[in-house]
A and B are shown apart, each in its own frame.
Chain A
Amino acid sequence: MIKSFRGGIHPNDNKRYTAGKSIEIAILPSKVIIPVRQHIGAPCSPIVAKGDLVKKGQVIASSEAFVSSPVHASLSGVVTDVNEYPHPVFGKCLSIVIENDGKDEWIEGIPVERDFEKLNDNEIKDIIKEAGIVGMGGATFPTHVKLSPPKEKKIDTLIINAAECEPFLTADHRMMLEYSEKIVTGVKIVMKVLGVQKGYVGIEDNKPDAVSIMQKAFQGTTVEVVAIPTKYPQGAEKMLIKVLADREVPSGSLPMDVGVVVQNVGTIVAIYDAVIKGIPLIQRVTTISGSAVKEPKNLLLRLGTTFKDAIDSCGGFVEPPAKIIMGGPMMGFAQSNLDISIIKGVSGILALNEKDINTGTQSPCIRCGKCVSVCPCGLNPSMLSILGEKDMYEEAKLEQNLFDCAECGSCVYVCPAKRNIVQYIRYSKMKNNADAAKKKEALVK
Chain B
Amino acid sequence: MSEIKLQDNLFTISTSPHIRADASISKIMWTVNLALAPAALFAIYHFGIPALIILLAGSLSAVGFEYIVQKLRKKPITITDGSAFLTGLLLAMCLPPAIPAYMAIIGSFIAIVIAKHSMGGLGYNIFNPAHIGRAALMVSWPIAMTTWTTLSGKVDVVSSATPLSILKLDGYDKLISTFGSAPQMYKAMLIGARNGSIGETSTILLMLGGIYLIYKGYANWVVPVFMIGTVGILTWICGPAGLFSGDPLFHMMAGGLIIGAFFMATDMVTIPITKKGQIIFAIGAGALTVLIRLKGGYPEGVCYSILLMNAVTPLIDRFMKPVKFGARG
Residue of A321, A364, A366 with most partner-chain B CB within 10 A = A366
A323 lies within 8 A of B11 (CB): yes
Looking at chain A, what size class is its interface with the partner chain? 35 or more
* A347 at the B interface (CB under 8 A): no
Q: A316-B3, A337-B9, A368-B28 are in contact. Are A378 and B327 (CB under 8 A)?
A: yes
Please measure, in the bound complex, the distance between the C-alpha atom of A401 and the C-alpha atom of B22, giving whole angstroms: 29
* A220 at the B interface (CB under 8 A): no
Contact of B12 among A323, A375, A407 (CB under 8 A): A323
Please measure, in the bound complex, the distance between the C-alpha atom of A377 and the C-alpha atom of B322, giving whole angstroms: 9
A248 lies within 8 A of B123 (CB): no
B274 lies within 8 A of A380 (CB): yes
Which residues of chain B are within 8 angstroms of A320 by Cβ–Cβ distance? 4-7
Q: Digitize A369-406: 1 where CB-to-B-CB distance is under 8 Å, 0 elsewhere.
A: 11011011111101100000000000000001100100
Which residues of chain A are within 8 angstroms of B268 by Cβ–Cβ distance? 366-369
Which residues of chain A are within 8 angstroms of B2 by Cβ–Cβ distance? 294, 311-312, 315-317
Please measure, in the bound complex, the distance between the C-alpha atom of A352 and the C-alpha atom of B20, giving whole angstroms: 12
Which residues of chain A are within 8 angstroms of B4 by Cβ–Cβ distance? 316-320
Residue in chain B with minimal CB distance to A232:
B17
Q: Digitize A349-377: 1 where CB-to-B-CB distance is under 8 Å, 0 elsewhere.
A: 01010001111100111111110110111
Which residues of chain A are within 8 angstroms of B71 by Cβ–Cβ distance? none
A412 lies within 8 A of B274 (CB): no
Closest-CB distance, A42 to chain B (whole angstroms): 25
Residue in chain B with minimal CB distance to A314:
B2
Closest-CB distance, B80 to chain A (whole angstroms): 13
Q: Digitize B295-329: 1 where CB-to-A-CB distance is under 8 Å, 0 elsewhere.
A: 00000000000000000000001000111111111
Closest-CB distance, A367 to chain B (whole angstroms): 5
Q: A251-B327, A317-B4, A320-B4 are in contact. Are A382 and B13 (CB under 8 A)?
A: no
* A422 at the B interface (CB under 8 A): yes
A357 lies within 8 A of B325 (CB): no
Which residues of chain B are within 8 angstroms of A312 by Cβ–Cβ distance? 1-2
Closest-CB distance, A228 to chain B (whole angstroms): 17
Q: A318-B4, A334-B13, A372-B273 are in contact. Are A248 and B328 (CB under 8 A)?
A: yes
Q: Digitize A411-431: 1 where CB-to-B-CB distance is under 8 Å, 0 elsewhere.
A: 011111110001100100000
Residue in chain A with minimal CB distance to B20:
A358
Please measure, in the bound complex, the distance between the C-alpha atom of A415 and the C-alpha atom of B22, giving whole angstroms: 9
Residue of B3, B10, B13, B121 with most partner-chain A CB within 10 A = B13
* A252 at the B interface (CB under 8 A): yes
Closest-CB distance, B131 to chain A (whole angstroms): 17
Closest-CB distance, A404 to chain B (whole angstroms): 5
* B23 at the A interface (CB under 8 A): yes
Please measure, in the bound complex, the distance between the C-alpha atom of A99 and the C-alpha atom of B325, giving whole angstroms: 49
Stretch in contact with the other chain, from A53-61, A205-213, A325-333, A434-442: A325-333
B20 lies within 8 A of A360 (CB): yes
Which residues of chain A are within 8 angstroms of B15 by Cβ–Cβ distance? 333-334, 422-423, 426
Residue of B14, B22, B23, B326 with most partner-chain A CB within 10 A = B326
* B168 at the A interface (CB under 8 A): no
A337 lies within 8 A of B10 (CB): yes
Which residues of chain B are within 8 angstroms of A426 by Cβ–Cβ distance? 15
Please measure, in the bound complex, the distance between the C-alpha atom of A11 and the C-alpha atom of B15, giving whole angstroms: 18
Q: A319-B4, A334-B11, A336-B11 are in contact. Are A422 and B16 (CB under 8 A)?
A: yes
Please measure, in the bound complex, the distance between the C-alpha atom of A318 and the C-alpha atom of B4, giving whole angstroms: 7
Q: How many A-B residue pairs have CB under 8 A?
A: 184
* B269 at the A interface (CB under 8 A): yes
B20 lies within 8 A of A251 (CB): no
Closest-CB distance, A110 to chain B (whole angstroms): 35
Q: Digitize A103-128: 1 where CB-to-B-CB distance is under 8 Å, 0 elsewhere.
A: 00000000000000000000000000
A418 lies within 8 A of B325 (CB): no
Residue in chain A with minimal CB distance to B120:
A364
Contact of B20 among A311, A322, A413 (CB under 8 A): A413
Contact of B321 among A337, A380, A412 (CB under 8 A): A380
* A259 at the B interface (CB under 8 A): no
Closest-CB distance, B325 to chain A (whole angstroms): 5
Which residues of chain B are within 8 angstroms of A416 by Cβ–Cβ distance? 23-25, 27-28
Please measure, in the bound complex, the distance between the C-alpha atom of A240 and the C-alpha atom of B99, giving whole angstroms: 60
- Can you list 25 residue pairs at the A/B interface with Cβ under 8 Å? A248-B325, A252-B326, A308-B1, A311-B2, A319-B4, A323-B12, A323-B13, A324-B11, A329-B19, A334-B12, A335-B13, A336-B11, A338-B9, A357-B19, A364-B121, A366-B28, A368-B218, A372-B273, A372-B322, A375-B322, A380-B321, A382-B273, A413-B21, A416-B27, A416-B28
Q: Which residues of A contact B (CB under 8 A)?
A: 6, 9, 11, 167, 238, 242, 248-253, 294, 308, 311-312, 315-325, 329-338, 350, 352, 356-360, 363-370, 372-373, 375-380, 382-383, 400-401, 404, 407, 409, 412-418, 422-423, 426
